[in-house]
Structure 1
């Protein structure tokens, strides 16, 4: 008997919804399953905004991928009529020998990206909302900006459905089993068969690949919005870039201009480890105070009252790179998450790549950073 579908997608967040769109667009018969109703506030792709940037400090191999992502975001905006990306430019702030500045400069120089290195005095003149110590510099890049994650996922889902994808919400995948010619997938809504499956469940990855014993860690991530204390015009998106600041060696926070909800701040990779099904979603006063203390130090005019706060999740690999690779024991299974807290901007290109790989094509990009085997047995 022929399988019910060509591809089943387990998880319709950032990566899964994009993959559903790209697979359906090429004529594949697609079933997508999600434990909630995306976009939702129970995973890693909510909170109104996400950063997109080109001079990628994590590794130069990400640059061609994010450049393709820019093209795909523009295509999705054009075909949907939705505003998904706002260009603001971006600042990577830190000491010249720090991970952030050194990495951003390396990517910019290797890929000949337009950028400028600004001294503390330059920053005072051009971006007076920041207050940097004299030993800090900034790498400015013009193409950085803001993505709107809920709108992006909603648009990918609507576009996938428009191309014939069947997407079932509130139906968590419970397990999958390899069988001759494909996979059998057990979900809350029923049992389905397909030639292939894409696993993109984010924080729930270990429950769908328990045999691999992947060393993934789910991290609680707090997001805060603050009312500027003074000169609110400085924090408009026309004047204030997105930014990441390495305020101490290996310690980062990031932020966004005020889009009407306040200046948004997140402290990067300092959250408690958590379970996705038992995540503490209550933001504590001490957590907003940590963010506020960073604002007082580096953006004092933004350090006003807390307007709102929420919790999301990172799902981290040990080296904080992505996973995009075939299951080592089941060649009909492609794994396309997690993304270690910096993946949303790549979702259209990861979705396109997943669709291409599932169709038997080879990747035009170097995906060696995302191989599964380096994490097996660790």
Structure 2
């Protein structure tokens, strides 16, 4: 079978790319080294935050708005629950980047929001313990995504549209020329007109980009009073030293999930330490316990995951600088999952038309500090 496009990596971004490409009638081959919706990369753990009052940069907001619509559409088409719109709370000092950046995005794009001082926050959300002088931006169009359900939904929709999806297939390298692309795998060599590379934490080795894998840990705790967190908004708290901790309302097990947003340990994705150490549990419980004490009553379990970080923490999304028939989708730096469906749409635009109407200048693969090597690419 001849292929129009090969998609390398079928995690969050790759699965969405395969779904959108196949849905437009292209002949798609997808290659994934692990099983569907696996737990070896960045797209697992039962929940991810989605939000629109984006403290990173207001330029992301139009993509978030489109993504929110696509999450709802994909859920309806797949029959899977992909998102719970719980609302969101972004808290900390009023002059900190979490509150200040969220407020700037909300005002720039006219997002529905309110600002609560410490007293109002304690009254509205009794589980929270802000210090006097802390404030929060509260928005309604935020919530919890289910990453495994999302990956499976996109894979199912891609397969239903005719995509050839292969798992347990490791990509060892690829080449591209004006006549097409060749992808070397453990299952043989495949050829197509175009290539999408969405390798997650393996972007550094497969693309020669300065994308660093970092190890993080997700923690689940039994709350002191589960009813306090039932239906509670998702939250991000910027605490002492500017460190951010985030959390979710109770899930199907009645547990609360918390984790740190930044400060992960650089690692090699092939040899990451999957053991969660007691000191790590104590650290997150101590930090989160200052602001949401009832959430971390009793530790239950934890699991590692990987970020794939660029130097500036902005994405890499666009044509390969040296090969126009290769599209890169990587470097999502720990805040990309909420963009999964719109990234799939953007990738399909770039493959099919060579351009997209979505604003992606911020993610230019040729921006300073990023260099992808041309020629032979070896994992």
Query: Smaller-chain TM-score range?
Result: over 0.9
Distance apart, 1:249 and its partner CA: 4.1
Alpha-carbon contact 2:16-2:344 (below 8 Å) kept: yes
Secondary structure, in 3 states, of the residue corresponding to 1:176?
A: strand
Task: Confirm or deny that 1:146 pairs with 2:111.
Answer: no
How many residues were matched structurally? Answer: 370
Distance apart, 1:338 and its partner CA: 2.0
Alpha-carbon contact 2:316-2:329 (below 8 Å) kept: yes
Q: Tell me the TM-score normalised to structure 2 length.
A: 0.95
Distance apart, 1:188 and its partner CA: 1.2
| Whole-angstrom CA distance in 2 between matches of 1:52 and 1:196 | 31
**Counterpart for residue 236 of structure 1:** 230
**Counterpart for residue 239 of structure 2:** 247
**Counterpart for residue 135 of structure 1:** 133
Deviation by residue 1:136-171 (Cα, 9 ceiling, x = unmatched): 100000111010000110010010000000001010
Alpha-carbon contact 1:4-1:192 (below 8 Å) kept: no
Distance apart, 1:303 and its partner CA: 2.4
Distance apart, 1:25 and its partner CA: 0.3
**Counterpart for residue 195 of structure 1:** 193
Candidates 221, 233, 237, aligned match of 1:226: 221
Deviation by residue 1:73-130 (Cα, 9 ceiling, x = unmatched): 1111111111111011000001111011110001000000000000000011100100
Deviation by residue 1:285-315 (Cα, 9 ceiling, x = unmatched): 0001111102321111222111110000001
Secondary structure, in 3 states, of the residue corresponding to 1:345?
A: helix
**Counterpart for residue 216 of structure 1:** 211
Candidates 245, 248, 256, aligned match of 1:256: 248
**Counterpart for residue 23 of structure 1:** 21
Task: Confirm or deny that 1:360 pairs with 2:353.
Answer: yes
**Counterpart for residue 56 of structure 1:** 54
Alpha-carbon contact 1:94-1:100 (below 8 Å) kept: yes
Task: Confirm or deny that 1:11 pairs with 2:9.
Answer: yes
Secondary structure, in 3 states, of the residue corresponding to 2:332?
A: coil
| Whole-angstrom CA distance in 2 between matches of 1:60 and 1:200 | 25
Alpha-carbon contact 1:200-1:338 (below 8 Å) kept: no
Distance apart, 1:360 and its partner CA: 1.4
| 5+ long unaligned stretches in structure 1 | none
| Whole-angstrom CA distance in 2 between matches of 1:225 and 1:189 | 38
Q: Tell me the TM-score normalised to structure 1 length.
A: 0.96
Secondary structure, in 3 states, of the residue corresponding to 2:220?
A: strand
Query: Cα RMSD between the aligned structures?
Result: 1.3
Deviation by residue 1:321-362 (Cα, 9 ceiling, x = unmatched): 111021111111110112000000100000010001101153
**Counterpart for residue 320 of structure 2:** 327
For residues 150-189 of structure 1, the aligned pairs below 5 Å read 150-189=148-187
Secondary structure, in 3 states, of the residue corresponding to 2:349?
A: helix
| Whole-angstrom CA distance in 2 between matches of 1:116 and 1:187 | 51
Choose 117-126 or 290-299, whichever is displaced more. Answer: 290-299
Alpha-carbon contact 2:346-2:358 (below 8 Å) kept: no
